[in-house]
Amino acid sequence: MDDQDVFLKDIVSGLNDESVPYSFGYKIAAKIIKERERRERRAEMIQISVILTLAALLITLSLYYINSSLFNLSQEWLTLEGVNSIITHGSDKFKMIFFNKENIIWYIISVNSIALLTIERLLKKREY
């Protein structure tokens, strides 16, 4: 190192402050915990949003399918007469759709799905 380097080192040594404040480590740990919680909340929100979007899509498609195959409601029905007609004929349609031997298998599938979901939730709660 020549004289210039020594002189420069002297100037730059003013930048070399390695002192560590007392609670430095604790503050880092607290920030890590906070950040971890924020990330978990964000992941949960994303998960819920995706599930809700898929559920909404499924319900919409189901309703569309039910309407096109069973009710055939159109925009014309969105009048007072149309609503009255739905109420009058609706109960017959309701009975036809829901109290039908062919639909029993769907009831079994639905009940099983609900039962499985409920069991899964209960087991998850027990885990925590």
Q: Does 55 bind another protein (CB under 8 A)?
A: no
For tokens 């929100």, what's the residue? 45
Cα distance between residue 113 and residue 116, in whole Å:
5
Q: Which of 8, 59, 83, 109 binds another protein (CB under 8 A)?
A: 8
Cα distance between residue 58 and residue 65, in whole Å:
10
Q: Does 2 bind another protein (CB under 8 A)?
A: no
Q: How far is the CB of 10 from another protein (least distance, A)?
A: 5
Beta-carbon contacts of residue 76 (< 8 Å; ≥ 6 apart): 82
Q: Does 44 bind another protein (CB under 8 A)?
A: no
The size of the interface with another protein (CB under 8 A), counted in residues, is 28
Size (the chain), residues: 128
Q: Does 4 bind another protein (CB under 8 A)?
A: yes
Neighbour tally for 77: CB within 10 Å: 13
State the binding string over 92-121 for another protein (x if CB under 8 A, else -): ------------------------------
86 and 73 in contact (C-beta within 8 Å)?
yes
Q: Which of 11, 87, 104, 123 binds another protein (CB under 8 A)?
A: 11
Q: Which residues bind another protein (CB under 8 A)?
A: 3-21, 24-25, 27-29, 31-32, 35, 39
